[in-house]
Amino acid sequence: MDEKTTKENLRDIQNEPDLRNIGIDKVGVKDVRYPIVVLDKAKERQHTVASFNMYVYLPHHFKGTHMSRFVEILNEYSGEITVENLPSILSAMKERFEASTAHLEVAFPYFIEKAAPVSGFKGLMEYECRLLGSFGEVEDYIVEVKVPVTTLCPCSKEISDRGAHNQRGTVTVGVRFKGFLWIEDIISVVEASASSPVFSLLKRADEKYVTEQAYDNPRFVEDILREVAIKLKDLDGVKWARIEAENHESIHNHSAYGYLEMDYTDDSKE
Amino acid sequence: MDEKTTKENLRDIQNEPDLRNIGIDKVGVKDVRYPIVVLDKAKERQHTVASFNMYVYLPHHFKGTHMSRFVEILNEYSGEITVENLPSILSAMKERFEASTAHLEVAFPYFIEKAAPVSGFKGLMEYECRLLGSFGEVEDYIVEVKVPVTTLCPCSKEISDRGAHNQRGTVTVGVRFKGFLWIEDIISVVEASASSPVFSLLKRADEKYVTEQAYDNPRFVEDILREVAIKLKDLDGVKWARIEAENHESIHNHSAYGYLEMDYTDDSKE
Amino acid sequence: MDEKTTKENLRDIQNEPDLRNIGIDKVGVKDVRYPIVVLDKAKERQHTVASFNMYVYLPHHFKGTHMSRFVEILNEYSGEITVENLPSILSAMKERFEASTAHLEVAFPYFIEKAAPVSGFKGLMEYECRLLGSFGEVEDYIVEVKVPVTTLCPCSKEISDRGAHNQRGTVTVGVRFKGFLWIEDIISVVEASASSPVFSLLKRADEKYVTEQAYDNPRFVEDILREVAIKLKDLDGVKWARIEAENHESIHNHSAYGYLEMDYTDDSKE
Amino acid sequence: MDEKTTKENLRDIQNEPDLRNIGIDKVGVKDVRYPIVVLDKAKERQHTVASFNMYVYLPHHFKGTHMSRFVEILNEYSGEITVENLPSILSAMKERFEASTAHLEVAFPYFIEKAAPVSGFKGLMEYECRLLGSFGEVEDYIVEVKVPVTTLCPCSKEISDRGAHNQRGTVTVGVRFKGFLWIEDIISVVEASASSPVFSLLKRADEKYVTEQAYDNPRFVEDILREVAIKLKDLDGVKWARIEAENHESIHNHSAYGYLEMDYTDDSKE
C-alpha cells in the first residue's frame, strides 16, 4: 500500500513555510450557498438561503489555507445567522485559523409581509440583505439592505403639462451601529424617502393610491440620498451610513446614480 | 368627491374589449420572489426561496390581464409548492382567469446533505431546480435540476504524459414522467455519469479520492450526455428528457457544450 | 523521447467509435467572444463585440467533436458576420465536421445614432441583437433584437386623478423572413408600438416631449405585443415572429410579461 | 400657449437651491453603453464596446445634476478613450459641472491575438478591462484587467497517486502607476504566475503541452497572488496594486478566493 493512501500520512502542503515574504489580506471561500435562519421582527425567525464569503488574513510564513475549515464552521452554526452571533462566528474563524483577522459576508433575501395601502391585501416583499463583519485589531459590522422603490422625476413633473416619468429605483443602505438594529427599520426609512414604496400585490384602488402618492412626492436620486441621510440620524444607534440610489430610468437605457457617506459621530457633512 | 376616488367606480380597463383580434399566448407576472416549502426525500420538508413566472392565455377579445390575481393565488397556497400540487395551482389559475391555458414556472435552490467519500464529513450541496407546468388542452409537467460536476478530459489524459485538464461542469436535466419523481434520483444519475461529483466539504483524504476518481473516469460532454441518457431509462416513470452539459473549460475561456433530447416512449434515438 | 510528445502520433480520441448508439443533437462551443463587423443601415459597417455558440449534430458512431475547428472557422471569417453570410458559415461548419446539421448563434450589441425629438441632440442607443441559424435538412434563420422602451400603464392613468405609473420595458422580437431585413426596421416597429422610445440624451424640452408622449399613449404589455404583431405584417418579407414584452414595473418588484407568436403565412391567429 | 411648452421657459429644477445642507459624494449616470476605440500594443487601435459610469461631487446648495451633460461629454470625445486622455475627460467633467471632483469608470472587453504554444495557431483572447479615474484635490488613476487562467491544486497533486484537480481561475489586477502602462504587460505578468495561460484555440499537441505545463506548475490562489505581487514590482512605473484571485474549483461548487494589496512605494508588506 502506497504511503499516500494512508490519510495520516498525506502531506499537509498548506501548512508548509512560504519564503516569498508576503502576507495575504484575505483568503478563503467565496459564494458558499447555505440555508439559514435569521431573526424576523414580526415572526421571530425566518428561513432563507444565503451566500457566504469567509476570509482570513494569512501570515507571510504560511503557504496556504485549509479551506475546508470554513465550511466546518458553517456547519457548527447550523445556519443560525443573526446580527448578534456574527462576532461569535468571526471569533471561531480567528481561532480555528490562528488568524489575526477574519472577514464574513452573508447575503440573503429577506421577506416582509406588507399590506396594500387601501385594500389592505397582503403580499410578501423581498429585500436583499447583507451582513458584513471584520474582526481583527478592531471589530467592524455593517448591515446592508437593498430596497426597491418608485421614484418620480421632479423635473419631468414640473416641465410637463401632464404625467411625469417614473421608474423602479434601488436604494442600498449599509449602516454601522451601536447595539441592535432591525432590517425593518432601515427599510421603513428608505420607503418613506422615495416617491412611493413598491408592493407585490396591489388592487385597483391601491394602484390609484400609489400612482397619486408618487406624483405628489417627486424625488431625484439626490433627494432620496438626502432624505435617507437625514432620517437615519433619528434611528437609535446608527453611527455611520453609506447610501446608494440607482434609478432604472424609464426614459433612458441607463441609470441615474448617486452615492453618499454619512458619519453621524461628527458634523463634517453638514 | 371625484368619482375616481371611489373604489367601486374605478373603471376596469383590463376587462374591456379589444378589437385587434389577436389572442396572446402567455401573459402574466415574471420573477415574483416568494419563500416556499418543498418536499425533501431525507427530511420530508425543506424551506427555500423561489422565483415564480405565472402566465395564462389571453383571448383576443380581452384588452388585459388582472396581474394581481396571480399573487393572490400564490398567497392562497402559502408557499407549499410540490411536484404534486402543481396541477392544483394551475387549475386555480385557469379558473380565476377563465383561461384556456395556464403556465407556471418555479425556480428554487434545493439543498442536500452529502457525505465526503472517505472522511464521511457532511456538507450541504445546492442544486438549482425548476418545476415547469402547463395546463391547457393537455397537461405537461417538467422537473428540471442543474447539477454541478467534475469533468476530466479523455483526450487530454490520453495524450499527456502527466495530469489531465479537468473543470467544473454543469449538467441540466429536465424530465417528463409518470407518477412521482424525486429530484434526488435525477441528481444521482447525473453524478454517476460525470468524472466525479462535487462536494462542499472535503478533507485531504477525500480530495485524494475525488482527484483519482476523476482521473480514472474521463468524460467528454458527449460522454456525460450519453451516460445520463442511458441511466435515465432505468428511472421509473421517466418518459422524456432533455439533457444539457456545459464544461467551463479550464484551458479555454469558453465552454464546451452539448444538448440531447430523449423520448423513452419510442426507439427513435437508438 | 516518448511517442506521446510527437504531434503526429497523438491519439485522436474524439475520432474513435462510440458504441452507446446515441446521436447528439447539438455539440460544440459556447460563449466564444470575438470582435465582429456587422452591416449598418446608416454607416455601412459597424464594429462590435460578439458571443458565439457553434454546434453540430454528432452521429451516434463518433465519440467526440474536435472543438478547435469551430474557432478555426471563426478565424477564417475574420469577424465579418452579417445576415447574408450566415449560410456560408453554417455551410463551412457542416463540411468541416461532416455533420448533417449545424447551428450558429451570434449575440452582439448594436448601436444606432438617434436624435432627441425636440432639441435634435444626438446620442447613441444600444440594442442587443442575435442572429440564429440552423442548416440541416432545412435552413432556418432568425434575427432577434431587444428594444428598451417606455411603457405607461393604461389602468393607472384611467383610475388616477393625476400621473400614471410608467417604467422601462424590454421588447424582444425574433423574426423569420424572406430576402433581407434591417435590424433598424424591427426597432422602428417596436418603438412606434410603445408608449415612447427611450433615448440616451434628452434635454429639458425633449424630456417634456417624451413625458407627454408616454402619457398620451398608455400601453399594457398586451397592447405592445398586439401593436408589434400588426405592424410587423407590413414589413416586407416577414414570415413569422415571436414577440416578448417585459415591463420592469415601477410599482412592483416583479415584471409584467407577455409572449406572442405570429405566423404571417396563414391566418390562424386572427 | 402654455408657458411650459416654450423651451426657453422650462424651469430648471436641478439648478435650484437645496436647504438640506448635505453635499453628495457622487452623482451621475451609470451603465451608459458606448462603442469606443482603445490603444492596442500590436495593432495601434482596437474597436470595442464600453460601459461608462460618470459621476461628480454635488455641493450641498444644489438640488440636482444635469445628467444629459455626461452623455454630451462622451459625444465630444467620440469614443476615443485611452489611459492618456482620461485626465482630459475628467477635466471636462469638472468644468462642465463646476464640480470639485469628477469620477470616471470605463469597462470594456479587450482582445489580444495569442498563438498556441506548439502549433502556433492563432486565436483571439478576450480580457475584461476597466479604467478608473478620479480628479479632485488629487488625481487618481487605476488600470484594471481580469485575466482567465488555469490553476492546478498543489495539495491535490501532492497527495494523489495520479492526476490533480485543476480549473479555470480569474485573476483581477488593478494598478496605479507613473507614466504609461500597457494592458498587455499586466496580462503577461498574470499568465506567467498561473499554472498555465488559457487559449481560445488549441490543437492536440498544444493541449498536451498546456496539460503538462499546468501539472508541472501547481498554484494555490495564495501562490498566484504572491507571484503576481513579486512580478509587478519589476514592471516599470507600477506604484500600487490590488490583486484578486478566484478559482472556480472543479471539486466544489464554490470558489477559493484571495485578495492582496501591495504598495510598491514602501516596504510595509515585506
How far out from the chain centre does Cα D171 lie? Answer: 11
Mutate to test the interface with B, among A2, A3, A4, A7 (most CBs of B within 10 A): A7
Distance CA B214, CA B199 (A): 13
| Cβ-proximal residues to A213 (8 Å cutoff; 6+ apart), any chain | A117, A195, A196
- Tell me the pLDDT band of B11, cut-offs 50, 70 and 90: confident
In this prediction, residue C14 carries a pLDDT of 86
Provide the terminal-to-terminal Cα distance of chain A, rounded to the nearest Å: 74
- For cell 429577506, name the residue: A110
Distance CA D264, CA D270 (A): 10
Q: How far is D61 from chain A (nearest CA, A)?
A: 11
In this prediction, what percent of chain A has a pLDDT beyond 70? 95
Fold of D138-270: Urate Oxidase (3.10.270)
Whether residue B71 is predicted with pLDDT greater than 90 in this model: the reply is yes
Three-state DSSP at A53 gives: strand
Q: Is D167 on the interface with B (CB under 8 A)?
A: yes
Distance CA B259, CA B76 (A): 38
In this prediction, residue C152 carries a pLDDT of 98
Q: Which CATH class is domain A17-115?
A: alpha beta
Distance CA C52, CA C49 (A): 10
Interface contact flag, D208 C126, Cβ < 8 Å: no
- Tell me the pLDDT band of C267, cut-offs 50, 70 and 90: low
| Cβ-proximal residues to A212 (8 Å cutoff; 6+ apart), any chain | C160, C161, C162, C163
- Tell me the pLDDT band of B8, cut-offs 50, 70 and 90: low
Task: Write the residue in B160, B199, B208 that is nearest to D211 by C-beta.
Answer: B160
pLDDT, one tens digit per residue, over C146-166 is 999 999 999 999 999 999 999
A109 contacts A33 by C-beta, under 8 angstroms = no
Q: For C62, which DSSP code?
A: B
**Residues of C in Cβ contact (< 8 Å) with D72:** 121, 201
Q: For C14, which DSSP code?
A: G
**Residues of D in Cβ contact (< 8 Å) with B156:** 207-208, 211
Q: How far is B43 from chain C (nearest CA, A)?
A: 32
Three-state DSSP at C229 gives: helix
In this prediction, residue A78 carries a pLDDT of 76
Buried b (16+ CB within 10 A) or exposed e, A203-227: bbbbbbbbbbbbbebbbbbbbbbbb
Distance CA B97, CA C179 (A): 41
Q: Is B222 on the interface with D (CB under 8 A)?
A: no
Interface contact flag, C75 D123, Cβ < 8 Å: yes
- Tell me the pLDDT band of D180, cut-offs 50, 70 and 90: confident
Q: Which three cell numbers stand for residue C60?
A: 451516434
Q: Which three cell numbers stand for residue D218?
A: 501547481
Distance CA C65, CA B153 (A): 12
Mutate to test the interface with B, among A124, A129, A215 (most CBs of B within 10 A): A124
In this prediction, residue B87 carries a pLDDT of 92
Q: Is C220 on the interface with B (CB under 8 A)?
A: yes
Mutate to test the interface with C, among A211, A212, A215 (most CBs of C within 10 A): A211
Radius of gyration from C-alpha coordinates of chain C: 23
Q: Which whole number is the average pLDDT over B147-160?
A: 97
In this prediction, residue D7 carries a pLDDT of 43
Average pLDDT, chain A: 92
In this prediction, residue B201 carries a pLDDT of 96
| Cβ-proximal residues to C179 (8 Å cutoff; 6+ apart), any chain | C236, C237
Three-state DSSP at D129 gives: strand
A104 contacts A53 by C-beta, under 8 angstroms = yes
Task: Write the residue in C33, C49, C202 that is nearest to D68 by C-beta.
Answer: C202
Q: Which three cell numbers stand for residue C225?
A: 405585443
Q: Which A-chain residues 39-58 have CB contacts (< 8 A) with chain C?
A: none
In this prediction, residue A2 carries a pLDDT of 39
Q: For C4, which DSSP code?
A: G
**Residues of C in Cβ contact (< 8 Å) with A153:** 207
Q: For D5, which DSSP code?
A: G
pLDDT, one tens digit per residue, over C125-135 is 999 999 999 99
- Tell me the pLDDT band of A40, cut-offs 50, 70 and 90: confident
**Residues of C in Cβ contact (< 8 Å) with D49:** 48-49, 109, 111
Q: Is B202 on the interface with A (CB under 8 A)?
A: yes
Q: Is B268 on the interface with A (CB under 8 A)?
A: no
Interface contact flag, B257 C26, Cβ < 8 Å: yes
Whether residue D173 is predicted with pLDDT greater than 50 in this model: the reply is yes
Domain coordinates in residue numbering, chain C: 17-115, 138-270
Angle, CA of D142, D148 and D153, to the nearest 5°: 120
Q: How far is A151 from chain C (nearest CA, A)?
A: 8
Q: Is D251 on the interface with B (CB under 8 A)?
A: yes
In this prediction, residue B267 carries a pLDDT of 53
Which residue of chain D comes nearest to C205, CA vs CA? Answer: D7
In this prediction, what percent of chain C has a pLDDT beyond 70? 95
Q: Which three cell numbers stand for residue C87?
A: 449560410
Which residue of chain C comes nearest to A251, CA vs CA? Answer: C198
Whether residue D216 is predicted with pLDDT greater than 50 in this model: the reply is yes
Q: For C78, which DSSP code?
A: T
In this prediction, residue A189 carries a pLDDT of 98
In this prediction, residue D150 carries a pLDDT of 98
Interface contact flag, C156 A208, Cβ < 8 Å: yes
Whether residue C82 is predicted with pLDDT greater than 90 in this model: the reply is no
- Tell me the pLDDT band of C250, cut-offs 50, 70 and 90: very high
Distance CA B111, CA B45 (A): 11
Q: Is D263 on the interface with A (CB under 8 A)?
A: no
Identical fold at D17-115 and D138-270?
Answer: yes
Distance CA D241, CA D265 (A): 11
Q: How far is C124 from chain B (nearest CA, A)?
A: 30
Instruction: Give the start-end residues of each E strand in B193-254.
Output: 196-197, 238-247
Closest CA to B243 of B257, B140, B105, B110: B257
Which residue of chain C comes nearest to D119, CA vs CA? Answer: C7
pLDDT, one tens digit per residue, over B193-238 is 999 999 999 999 999 999 999 999 999 999 999 999 999 999 999 9
Whether residue D268 is predicted with pLDDT greater than 70 in this model: the reply is no
pLDDT, one tens digit per residue, over B77-106 is 877 888 788 999 999 999 999 999 999 999
Q: For A266, which DSSP code?
A: S
Whether residue B151 is predicted with pLDDT greater than 60 in this model: the reply is yes
In this prediction, what percent of chain C has a pLDDT beyond 90? 81
In this prediction, residue B269 carries a pLDDT of 43
Q: Which three cell numbers stand for residue D169?
A: 481561475
Q: Is D204 on the interface with B (CB under 8 A)?
A: yes
Q: Which C-chain residues 113-152 have CB contacts (< 8 A) with chain B?
A: none
Q: Which whole number is the average pLDDT over A28-35?
A: 97
Handedness of CA D167, D173, D179, D182 (dihedral sign): positive
The pair phi, psi for residue A158, each rounded to 5°, is -65, -40
In this prediction, residue D8 carries a pLDDT of 52
Q: Which whole number is the average pLDDT over C81-92?
A: 89
Q: Is B199 on the interface with D (CB under 8 A)?
A: yes
Interface contact flag, A250 C253, Cβ < 8 Å: no
In this prediction, residue A267 carries a pLDDT of 53
D106 contacts D93 by C-beta, under 8 angstroms = no
Angle, CA of A142, A145 and A150, to the nearest 5°: 150
* More confident call, C34 vs B269: C34
In this prediction, what percent of chain D has a pLDDT beyond 70? 95
Mutate to test the interface with D, among B119, B253, B254, B255 (most CBs of D within 10 A): B253
- For cell 459564494, name the residue: A31
| Cβ-proximal residues to B265 (8 Å cutoff; 6+ apart), any chain | B239, B240
pLDDT, one tens digit per residue, over D83-119 is 788 999 999 999 999 999 999 999 999 999 999 999 9
Whether residue A263 is predicted with pLDDT greater than 80 in this model: the reply is yes
In this prediction, residue A32 carries a pLDDT of 97
Q: Is C15 on the interface with A (CB under 8 A)?
A: no
Distance CA C131, CA C77 (A): 16
In this prediction, residue A17 carries a pLDDT of 84
Q: Which three cell numbers stand for residue A206?
A: 391601491
In this prediction, residue C10 carries a pLDDT of 86
Three-state DSSP at C160 gives: coil
Which residue of chain D comes nearest to A51, CA vs CA? Answer: D254
- Tell me the pLDDT band of C81, cut-offs 50, 70 and 90: confident
Q: Which chains touch C (3 or more CB pairs under 8 A)?
A: A, B, D
Interface contact flag, B10 A72, Cβ < 8 Å: no
- Tell me the pLDDT band of D267, cut-offs 50, 70 and 90: low
Length of chain C: 270
Secondary-structure percent of chain A, ordered helix, strand, coil, rounded to 5: 25, 40, 30
A34 contacts A104 by C-beta, under 8 angstroms = no
Report H helices in chain C.
68-77, 86-96, 154-159, 183-193, 204-216, 221-232
CA distances B183 to A44, A63, B144, B260, D154, Å, are: 31, 41, 8, 20, 35
